[in-house]
Amino acid sequence: MEVFKMTAPKLTNIRKLAPKDQEIKTTLESYISHFEATTEGRKSKYKQIANDYYDLATHFYEFGWGPSFHFAPRYKGENLAASLARYEYSLAHRLRLHPGMKVLDIGCGIGGPMRAIARFSGSHILGINNNAYQIQRGQKLNGDAGLSELCDFLKTDFMQMPLPDQSVDAIYTIDAICYAPDKKKLSTELLRVMKDGSYIAGNDWCLTDRYDPNNPEHRSIKEGIEIGCGLGDIGFTTDTIAAFRGAGLEVIESHDLALDSDPETPWYLPLAEIGSWKGLKNTVIGRSFIHRMVRTLETVRVAPKGSTDVHKILRTGADALVLGGKSGIFTPLFFFYARKPTS
C-alpha cells in the first residue's frame, strides 16, 4: 500500500516540483516579511502565510517525509511509515468510518492520510485545503493511486467553508487547527457542517504546560517552530479544548499522544537521530548534508534559485521541533475526540 511505501521524489527532481525561480524569490520575500509583524498581525495574514509556506515547502516535505506530512506516536521496533499508517487508521476506527460516509479532511496537504483512510474505510473523503499547488499535486497522486472516485479536494478557507449545514458524517484533521487564527471560530464552523451526533477526531500542534513565556530559550524555540513551519502563533493544549467546548462540541477524550511513544522512539526521533540510511536526510547531520547538496544543485541550475534559502527556513523549523520535543514544551500530537450533540 502507498502509505507503507512512503514513496518520495528524488532531490534531483526538485525543479520539476518546485515553483519557478522568480516565483520562489517573490514568495520567499513575502513569507519572511510576515514574521516582521506582531503575532496579531501574523494571525490576520494566516491564509497568505500558509499559502506562501506550502508553495515553498511542499516539494521538500514530500522529498523528506513522503506523502503524509505529520508525526505519530511510535513504538520500539516500528518504523516511521508504519507509525503514520497506524495513526491514520486509528482515526478512521475512532470515527467509525465505513463505505458511503461523507468525511472531511481539514487541512489535507497532498492527501497522504486521505488516500490511506479512504482505502481502509471505503468512505468518500473531501480534503479541505487553500493551497492550489498542494491540491494539484494531490489530485495527481489520487489518480495514480486509483482513488479519484473516493478522494477529492475543495480549495477553500477552512474558517468559512462553502458547504451546507449538517452535510458531513465525520471530520478528521491532522496538524491543521494550529493554522487557524481563531480556534473557537474554526470549531464553530466545523460544528456547523457536522451532522447531529457525528464525531471529529485529530491532533493539534500545541505548547504544553511546561512552556514558560518568560524563558528566553522557550520563546526562541516557539519562534523557530513558527517561522520554520508557517505558523502565526502556537497556542496551548488548553486553548484547543476551550475552543471546542466554547463552540458547543462535547469533548470525549483529549491527551498528549507524544507521551504514548516508547522512550526509545519519541515523536521527534526522525528529525534527531540516524535510525537508518534512508532516514539520514531527516536528521541534523542529514539536513546539513542536504543543505549543501541543495546549494550545489542550485548553483548548477538543477534546483531553482532560492531553494537554499527555503531549505534554511525548513532547517530552522526542524531544529526547533527537536528542541521543543526534548524540552517537553511543545507537542505536535495533542489528540482530541469530540462529538456534536444531537438537537
pLDDT, one tens digit per residue, over 88-111 is: 999 999 999 999 999 999 999 999
The CATH class of 81-224+233-262+330-339 is: alpha beta
Model pLDDT for residues 184-225, shown as the tens digit of each residue: 999 999 999 999 999 999 999 999 999 999 999 999 999 999
- Please count the helices (runs of H) and the strands (runs of E) in the chain: 14, 7
Q: At what angle do helices 112-121 and 80-94 cross, to 10 degrees?
A: 60
| Closest to 171 (Cα-Cα) out of 85, 226, 92 | 92
280: exposed, middle or buried (Cβ count in 10 Å: 0-12, 13-18, 19+): middle
Global pTM value: 0.87
> Which residues of the chain form CATH 3.40.50.150?
81-224+233-262+330-339
pLDDT at 270: 86
pLDDT value for 22: 58
**What confidence score (pLDDT) does residue 307 get?**
67
Q: What is the pLDDT of residue 275?
A: 45
The single-letter code of the amino acid at 212 is D
Residue 264, number of CB atoms within 10 A of its CB: 10
Residue 215 dihedral angles phi and psi, to the nearest 5°: -95, 115
Q: Return d(Cα 122, Cα 151) in angstroms, integer.
A: 10
Q: Which residue numbers in the chain have pLDDT < 50?
A: 1-9, 11-12, 15, 17, 21, 274-282, 285, 287, 289, 291, 294-300, 302-303
Distance CA 204, CA 175 (A): 5
